[in-house]
C-alpha cells in the first residue's frame, strides 16, 4: 500500500473521488495541503478573491452539473468567510464538500492565531461535519463527506482538518474506500407502495388538479419523469423558483412560477385546486402566503426525500417519503394499470372545464400573454430579460443575484431545461450571481452563461472580476441598473409610504464600463431601448470576453404579481401598482 | 403535551451539540436532558423531555432522526414506559427539623446519603412529579441546593431500543 502524508492523501482522495475543480484560497493552516496539490494534483484549482466566492462558485458548478462542488479554505477568517456560501447551499440542498484548515490539534481551544470553531460555527447550516482527529482517518472521512453530501437530500458537508495531520514528513498507508456504510445514515431509496397507491387514486379522481414541483425534482434528476407524468394526464404544472426548468416553460401545460411573485394563473390554480401533487417542493412561506388560507379546498399529496419537509408548514393528506424518481416511476406504472381498468379516468369533462378556467386566468393577467409593463419611456427591466432570452435562444445558463432582477429573470426567461436557472432561492444571498456564474462557465465553457444582477448584488462580490481575468472566464454580466436596492425600494414604496430609507445610491456608483475595463474585460452601457437587442447581441458575440452589460432601467418599476401580505391567501395579489385581485 | 424522547446517538465528539443545537435552532423546548454512554461504548443514550403538540413533536422526532449522528429514537410517551429522575438535595437540618426531614425522606422512600452538623444530603429517585412533590414538602427555607439528573426512560415489556 502506498504511503502518503495527510496533505497528499487529501489531494489524492479528491482525485479518486473524480473532483473536476477545487475552488479555494490558501492560508497558514492549509499550506501543507496546497503544497501537496502543487506537487500531486491534476485537478484545476481556482483561486478566488474571497472565500465566499469559492463556495458560490462550487455551488454554481454543483447546480449546473449535478456533481458536488469542492471548496478548500484556511482556518479562522477563511472558514468564516465561507459560511454565507455554505448556508446558501444548505438552504437549497446543494451537494458540496468544504475542506477547511484548522490550527494544530494541540492548539485547539487556546484561541490560537486564526483559530475558530468551524464545526461549531457551521453546525446549523451543514448536512453534516467532521473534525478529523487522526491523519489515517482522512481518506475514509473524505469518502463519507462526499457520500453524505450527494445522497438523500443533498447538502454541504464540512471537513475540518488540523494542520498537524497534514504534515509532509508523516506518512500513512493510503487506500480510498470504494463504498461507505454508515449505520446511522440510510436515506430512503423507495416510496411506500401503499401510500403511492392512495396517491394515484386521489390524483386520478381529481377535477381541478395542479402539479406543483420544486427544486427537489431538479436535484433528483427527475424532470423528464415529471414531464412525462404531467403530459400523460394533461394536468397543469407550476414550478417553484427553485424548480424552474423542471417542466419546459414553453409548454402549454406550464402555468409559470408560483408564489409571492408567481404568475396569476399559477397562484389562482393552486388556490382553487382540489388535488395538489407537490413534488420535491417544501411549501415554504414564499409559496404559501398565509398558511391558514393556503389552498382551502385541496387535498395534498407530498413527495419528498426528506421527511422533515413533509407537514412542516402545511399538513399533507398523503405523504410519500422517497426519492422523486423512484416514486414518480411507481406512480406512472400504477396510473397506467389503473387506466386500463378505468379508461375514463381522469374525468375529461372536469379537466376540460378546469383548463378553460386556467386559460381565462392566463388571458386576463398572464405575464406572457400580453406585455404587463409600459412599452414607452425608459427601458423596463422585464424587456432586458426578454432581450436576453431572444439573444441566447432560451439556451443560456442564467445565474442571478437577489432582488427585483432575480424575480424578473425568473418570470421572463423561459427555462425549458433543468439546471439552467441558478439562483439562491432559500437564503436569498446577494453576491451569489457572479461567482456562481464562474462555476457554471468553467464546467460548460461552450455555453452562454449570463449573470443577471443589480448594482447592490454585484458589488457584494465584484472582486471576482479579477478571478475571471486570471482564468479567462467569459461570463456575461447583465446589470439591471436602477440606482436603488430595487426590491427594498419596492417594499418601501408599498408599505412605508415611499420612505426610501438607505436604499438609494445617490451618485456613489462606479462607472461599471470603466471598472470592467480596469480588470481587462469589456463594458457595454445601454440606455436607449432601440439599442437593447443589438448591444445584447454584441455582448454575446464576444465569446471569449467577459462583458459587463450595464443597462439603465426604469427605477420606478415594481415586480408584479405580488402576494398581498400579511393575511392574504395565494389568490390575493397585487397585479400592478393600482390593481388587486 | 410533555413527551419523553429516547435517542441512541453515535458516541462522537460534537454529537451532543448537534442535538442540543437542533432544539435551540428550531425553537423547541428542552425540559430535561440526560445523556451517558451505553454498554456499547460507541453509543450514547440520550433522553430528552420536551413539550409540544403532536405536530411539533412529529417535527422534533423527524428532525432528530435526520441528524447523521442519531442512530435510532423512540417517543417513549407513545407507549407504556418507566421514567426516573434522580435528585440530590441538600437541606438545612437542625434541632427538631432533623427528625421531621428524616420522616419525610422515609415517606418518599429517599435516602439520607450525607450528614453534617446542620445539613442533610438526601438522594431520591422517581418520576419528575414525585421529585417536585418532595421539593415542595421540604419548603423553600430548608433547601440549600438541588441537583437533578433529568429524566431517564425506558419502555415497559419486550420493547427495546437498540441496534
The 10s digit of each residue's pLDDT in B9-68 is 999 989 999 999 999 999 999 999 999 999 999 999 999 999 999 999 999 999 999 999
A438 is catalytic: no
A487 is catalytic: yes
Q: Is residue A376 predicted with pLDDT exceeding 90?
A: no
Task: Determine contact: A109 vs chain B, CB below 8 A.
Answer: no
Query: What residue in B sits closest to A133 (Cα-Cα)?
Result: B13
DSSP string, B82-129: EEEEEEEEEEE--THHHHHHHHHHHHTT-EEEEE-SSEEEEEEEE-HH
pLDDT of residue B99: 94
Contact B14 A312 (CB under 8 A): no
pLDDT band (50, 70, 90) for residue A392: very high
pLDDT of residue B32: 96
Mean pLDDT of A428-444: 98
Identify which of A128, A131, A133 has the shortest CB distance to residue B68.
Answer: A128
Total Cβ atoms within 10 A of residue A211? 28
Chain position carrying cell 457520500: A147
Which is catalytic among the residues A51, A265, A386, A557? Answer: A51
Total Cβ atoms within 10 A of residue A181? 9
pLDDT of residue A97: 98
Q: Is residue A249 predicted with pLDDT exceeding 90?
A: yes
pLDDT band (50, 70, 90) for residue B163: confident
Mean pLDDT of A416-441: 98
Task: Determine contact: B58 vs chain A, CB below 8 A.
Answer: yes
Contact B14 A129 (CB under 8 A): yes
Q: Is residue A482 predicted with pLDDT exceeding 90?
A: yes
Instruction: Give me the residues of B, 6-45, that contact A with CB < 8 A.
Output: 10, 13-14, 17-18, 21, 25
Contact B68 A185 (CB under 8 A): yes
pLDDT of residue A371: 85
What's A357's DSSP letter?
H
Which is catalytic among the residues A127, A144, A163, A476? Answer: A163
A163 is catalytic: yes
A113 is catalytic: yes
Give the pairing of strands A476-481 and A449-453.
parallel
Query: What residue in A sits closest to B18 (Cα-Cα)?
Result: A123
Gap between the Cα atoms of A436 and A55, Å rounded:
8
pLDDT of residue A281: 97
Contact B14 A131 (CB under 8 A): yes
User: How large is the greatest C-alpha to C-alpha distance in chain A, in angstroms?
Assistant: 77
Which is catalytic among the residues A487, A536, A562, A570? Answer: A487
A308, A309, A315, A316, best to mutate vs chain B, most B CBs in 10 Å: A308
The whole-angstrom distance between A172's CA and the closest CA on chain B is: 23
pLDDT in tens, A7-29: 999 999 999 999 999 999 999 99
Phi-psi region of A553 (alpha: psi -120 to 50; beta: other; left: phi over 0): beta
Using a CB-CB cut-off of 8 Å, the residues of chain B touching A184 are 10, 68-71
Identify which of A119, A124, A306 has the shortest CB distance to residue B14.
Answer: A119
Handedness of CA A160, B28, B20, A104 (dihedral sign): positive
pLDDT in tens, A80-129: 999 999 999 999 999 999 999 999 999 999 999 999 999 999 999 999 99
Contact B70 A184 (CB under 8 A): yes
CB-count burial class (<10 Å; 0-12, 13-18, 19+) for B10: buried
Using a CB-CB cut-off of 8 Å, the residues of chain A touching B63 are 308
Using a CB-CB cut-off of 8 Å, the residues of chain A touching B10 are 184
Task: Determine contact: A184 vs chain B, CB below 8 A.
Answer: yes
Gap between the Cα atoms of A197 and A127, Å rounded:
31
pLDDT of residue B141: 75
Using a CB-CB cut-off of 8 Å, the residues of chain A touching B163 are 183
**Which cell numbers hold the place of A513?**
464600463
Mean pLDDT of A303-323: 96
Please, what's the b/e burial string for A435-469 (b: 16 or more CB within 10 A of its CB; e: otherwise)? bbbbbbbbbbeeebbbbbbbbbbbbbbbbbbebbe
Task: Determine contact: A306 vs chain B, CB below 8 A.
Answer: yes
Tell me how many helices (H) and strands (E) chain A has: 21, 22
pLDDT in tens, A447-479: 999 999 999 999 999 999 999 999 999 999 999
Identify which of B55, B59, B163 has the shortest CB distance to residue A308.
Answer: B59
Mean pLDDT of A382-392: 98
Q: Compute CA distances A16 → A33, A137, A288, A489, whole Å.
A: 16, 16, 44, 49
Gap between the Cα atoms of A308 and A313, Å rounded:
10
pLDDT in tens, B85-118: 999 999 999 999 999 999 999 999 999 999 999 9
In the sheet that A254-257 helps form, which strands lie side by side, from edge to edge? A254-257, A237-239, A209-213, A275-279, A299-304, A318-321
Question: Among the ranges A153-162, A366-375, B96-105, which has the highest mean pLDDT value?
Answer: A153-162
pLDDT of residue A173: 96
Contact B163 A183 (CB under 8 A): yes
Which is catalytic among the residues A15, A104, A114, A357? Answer: A114
User: How large is the greatest C-alpha to C-alpha distance in chain B, in angstroms?
Assistant: 56
Q: Is residue A31 predicted with pLDDT exceeding 90?
A: yes
pLDDT of residue A41: 85
Handedness of CA A434, A439, A440, A442 (dihedral sign): positive
A114 is catalytic: yes
Share of chain A above pLDDT 90, in %: 97
Q: Please, what is the average pLDDT of chain A?
A: 97
pLDDT band (50, 70, 90) for residue A233: very high
pTM above 0.80, yes or no: yes
Half-sphere exposure of residue A377: CA atoms within 13 angstroms, side-chain side: 10
Q: Compute CA distances A52 → A44, A77, A174, whole Å.
A: 19, 11, 31
pLDDT of residue A6: 98
Q: Which of these, A213, A260, A264, A262, lies nearest to A235 by C-alpha position?
A: A213
Q: Contact, A58 vs A119, CB < 8 A? A: no
Q: Which of these, A166, A107, A155, lies nearest to A132 by C-alpha position?
A: A166
* ipTM for this prediction: 0.93
pLDDT in tens, A491-514: 999 999 999 999 999 899 999 999
pLDDT of residue A552: 98
Gap between the Cα atoms of A322 and A530, Å rounded:
51
pLDDT of residue A72: 98
Task: Determine contact: A312 vs chain B, CB below 8 A.
Answer: yes
Residues 6+ apart with CB under 8 A from A532: A379, A383, A384, A387, A526, A551
Amino acid at each position: 500500500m502506498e504511503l502518503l502524508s495527510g496533505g497528499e492523501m487529501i489531494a489524492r482522495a479528491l482525485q479518486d473521488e473524480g473532483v473536476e475543480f477545487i475552488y479555494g484560497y490558501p492560508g497558514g493552516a492549509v499550506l501543507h495541503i496546497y503544497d501537496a496539490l502543487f506537487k500531486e494534483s491534476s485537478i484545476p484549482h481556482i483561486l478566488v478573491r474571497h472565500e465566499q466566492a469559492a463556495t458560490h462558485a462550487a455551488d454554481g458548478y454543483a447546480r449546473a452539473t449535478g456533481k458536488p462542488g469542492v471548496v478548500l479554505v484556511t482556518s479562522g477568517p477563511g472558514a468564516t468567510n465561507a459560511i454565507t456560501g455554505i448556508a446558501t447551499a444548505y438552504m437549497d440542498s446543494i451537494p458540496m464538500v468544504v475542506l477547511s484548515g484548522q490550527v494544530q490539534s494541540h492548539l485547539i481551544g487556546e484561541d490560537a492565531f486564526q483559530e475558530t470553531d468551524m464545526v461549531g460555527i457551521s453546525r446549523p447550516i451543514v448536512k453534516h461535519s467532521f473534525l478529523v482527529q487522526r491523519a489515517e482517518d482522512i481518506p475514509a472521512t473524505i469518502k463519507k463527506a462526499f457520500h453524505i453530501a450527494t445522497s438523500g437530500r443533498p447538502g454541504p458537508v464540512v471537513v475540518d482538518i488540523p494542520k498537524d495531520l497534514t504534515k509532509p514528513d508523516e506518512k500513512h498507508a493510503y487506500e480510498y474506500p470504494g463504498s461507505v456504510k454508515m449505520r446511522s445514515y440510510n436515506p430512503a431509496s423507495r416510496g411506500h407502495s401503499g401510500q403511492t397507491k392512495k396517491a394515484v387514486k386521489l390524483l386520478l379522481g381529481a377535477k381541478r388538479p395542479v402539479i406543483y414541483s420544486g427544486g427537489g425534482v431538479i436535484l433528483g434528476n427527475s424532470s423528464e419523469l415529471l414531464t412525462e407524468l404531467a403530459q400523460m394526464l394533461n394536468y397543469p404544472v407550476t414550478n417553484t423558483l427553485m424548480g424552474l426548468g423542471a417542466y419546459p416553460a414553453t409548454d402549454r401545460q406550464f402555468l409559470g412560477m408560483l408564489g409571492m411573485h408567481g404568475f396569476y394563473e399559477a397562484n389562482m390554480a393552486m388556490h382553487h385546486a382540489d388535488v395538489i401533487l407537490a413534488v420535491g417542493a417544501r411549501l415554504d412561506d414564499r409559496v404559501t402566503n398565509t398558511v391558514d388560507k393556503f389552498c382551502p379546498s385541496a387535498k395534498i399529496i407530498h413527495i419528498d426525500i426528506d421527511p422533515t419537509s413533509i407537514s412542516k408548514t402545511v399538513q399533507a393528506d398523503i405523504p410519500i417519503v422517497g426519492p422523486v424518481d423512484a416514486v414518480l416511476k411507481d406512480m406512472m406504472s400504477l396510473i397506467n394499470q389503473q387506466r386500463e381498468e378505468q379508461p375514463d379516468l381522469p374525468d375529461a369533462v372536469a379537466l376540460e372545464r378546469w383548463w378553460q378556467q386556467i386559460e381565462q386566468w392566463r388571458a386576463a393577467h398572464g405575464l406572457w400573454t400580453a406585455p404587463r409593463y409600459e412599452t414607452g419611456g425608459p427601458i423596463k427591466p422585464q424587456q432586458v430579460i426578454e432581450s436576453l432570452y431572444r439573444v441566447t435562444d432560451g439556451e443560456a445558463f442564467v445565474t442571478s443575484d437577489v432582488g427585483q432582477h432575480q424575480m424578473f429573470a425568473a418570470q421572463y426567461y423561459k427555462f425549458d431545461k433543468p439546471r439552467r436557472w441558478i439562483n439562491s432561492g432559500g437564503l436569498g444571498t446577494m453576491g451569489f450571481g457572479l461567482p456562481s456564474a464562474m462555476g457554471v462557465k468553467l464546467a460548460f465553457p461552450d455555453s452562454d452563461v449570463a449573470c443577471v444582477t443589480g448594482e447592490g448584488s454585484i458589488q457584494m462580490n465584484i472582486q471576482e472580476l479579477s478571478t475571471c481575468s486570471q482564468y479567462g472566464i467569459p461570463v456575461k454580466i447583465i446589470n439591471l441598473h436602477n440606482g436603488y436596492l430595487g426590491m427594498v425600494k419596492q417594499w418601501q414604496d408599498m408599505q412605508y409610504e415611499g420612505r426610501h430609507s438607505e436604499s438609494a445610491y445617490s451618485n456613489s456608483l462606479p462607472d461599471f464600463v470603466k471598472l470592467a475595463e480596469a480588470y481587462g474585460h469589456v463594458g457595454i452601457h445601454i440606455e436607449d431601448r432601440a439599442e437593447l437587442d443589438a448591444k445584447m447581441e454584441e455582448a454575446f458575440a464576444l465569446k471569449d470576453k467577459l462583458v459587463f452589460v450595464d443597462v439603465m432601467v426604469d427605477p420606478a418599476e415594481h415586480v408584479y404579481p405580488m402576494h398581498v401580505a400579511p393575511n392574504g391567501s395565494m389568490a390575493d395579489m397585487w397585479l400592478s401598482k393600482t390593481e388587486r385581485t | 403535551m410533555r413527551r419523553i424522547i429516547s435517542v441512541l446517538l453515535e458516541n462522537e465528539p460534537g454529537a451532543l451539540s448537534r442535538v442540543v443545537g437542533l432544539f435551540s435552532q428550531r425553537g423547541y423546548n428542552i425540559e430535561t436532558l440526560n445523556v451517558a454512554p451505553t454498554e456499547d461504548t460507541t453509543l450514547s443514550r440520550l433522553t430528552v423531555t420536551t413539550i409540544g403538540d403532536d405536530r411539533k413533536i412529529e417535527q422534533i422526532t423527524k428532525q432528530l432522526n435526520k441528524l447523521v449522528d442519531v442512530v435510532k429514537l423512540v417517543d417513549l410517551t407513545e407507549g407504556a414506559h418507566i421514567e426516573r429522575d434522580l435528585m440530590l438535595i441538600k437541606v438545612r437540618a437542625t434541632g427538631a427539623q432533623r427528625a421531621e426531614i428524616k420522616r419525610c425522606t422515609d415517606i418518599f422512600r429517599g435516602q439520607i446519603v450525607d450528614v453534617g452538623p446542620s445539613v442533610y444530603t438526601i438522594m431520591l429517585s422517581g418520576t419528575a412529579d414525585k421529585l417536585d412533590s418532595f421539593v415542595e414538602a421540604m419548603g423553600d427555607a430548608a433547601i440549600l441546593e438541588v441537583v437533578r439528573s433529568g429524566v431517564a426512560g425506558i419502555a415497559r415489556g419486550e420493547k427495546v431500543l437498540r441496534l
